[in-house]
Chain A
Amino acid sequence: QKEVEQDPGPLSVPEGAIVSLNCTYSNSAFQYFMWYRQYSRKGPELLMYTYSSGNKEDGRFTAQVDKSSKYISLFIRDSQPSDSATYLCAMSSPFNKFYFGSGTKLNVKP
């Protein structure tokens, strides 16, 4: 079993839709949870970070962590064509290496 599981998609939605991206994990020691965004032919860049459980909001983006279910989500409200990218979840325990999901490709159609 992989440490982190992520549905590869692709996910195609119309502009303005609410998008939900998800990852599950198996290691209960993970405390830091991150979402990276990767545009075509670019390296991934950090989008959002959350420590432990709870929600974090940044503009149209909300990151949610449920440690009891070992499940994290990224919600995108009012999705835009410019949100089209691959989204990767990542997590780690303190001072230890990252574990990344394989990435979900999102396409927002105008």
Chain B
Amino acid sequence: GAGVSQSPSNKVTEKGKDVELRCDPISGHTALYWYRQSLGQGLEFLIYFQGNSAPDKSGLPSDRFSAERTGGSVSTLTIQRTQQEDSAVYLCASSLFRRDRGYTEAFFGQGTRLTVV
């Protein structure tokens, strides 16, 4: 596709259940980010993948959160035993270094709105 695609766009789950959120980055983008955005906290970094390097997991809030990126493309964010405080919009971004301009631009998906009831 032309942009970053996230699915599902909305997810309602019961407390204690596991959820999987999917991100399809722009083809050829080597870097992929997951963020969480809530009214009270703003945009929070979760995890960063860059090529074949070990992911930067420093933003994951607890061991209930994990993410993987298969084949350097699609990524899945998994939240186990969901809690009500996990309710937020989860955003994925991929990035490309613009050689013509000398900077890196991030492109975001529309997000997955997660509601834990």
Do A and B assemble together? Answer: yes
Known: A95-B97, A97-B48, A102-B42. A45 touches B33 (CB 8 A): no
- How many residues does chain A have at the interface if contact means C-beta atoms less than 8 Å apart? 24
A60 within 8 Å of B (CB atoms): no
A contacts with B: majority SS = strand
B106 within 8 Å of A (CB atoms): yes
- Decide if B108 touches A45 in the complex (CB within 8 Å): yes
**Residue in B48, B50, B91, B104 whose beta carbon sits within 8 Å of that of A32 in the complex:** B104
Interface size class of B (residues with CB under 8 A): 20 to 34
- Decide if B95 touches A98 in the complex (CB within 8 Å): yes
Q: What is the count of residue pairs linking A and B with beta-carbon distances less than 8 angstroms?
A: 57
Q: Within 8 Å CB of A95, what residues of B?
A: 97, 104
- Decide if A102 touches B35 in the complex (CB within 8 Å): no
C-alpha gap A34/B102 in the complex (Å): 13
Interface residues of A (CB under 8 A from B): 6, 8, 32, 34, 36, 41-46, 49, 51, 88, 90, 92, 95, 97-103
Listed by A's residue number, 26 A-B pairs whose Cβ atoms lie within 8 Å are: A6-B42, A8-B42, A32-B104, A34-B103, A34-B105, A36-B108, A41-B110, A43-B4, A43-B108, A43-B111, A44-B91, A44-B106, A44-B108, A46-B105, A49-B101, A51-B102, A92-B104, A98-B93, A99-B45, A100-B45, A101-B42, A101-B43, A102-B42, A102-B44, A103-B42, A103-B43
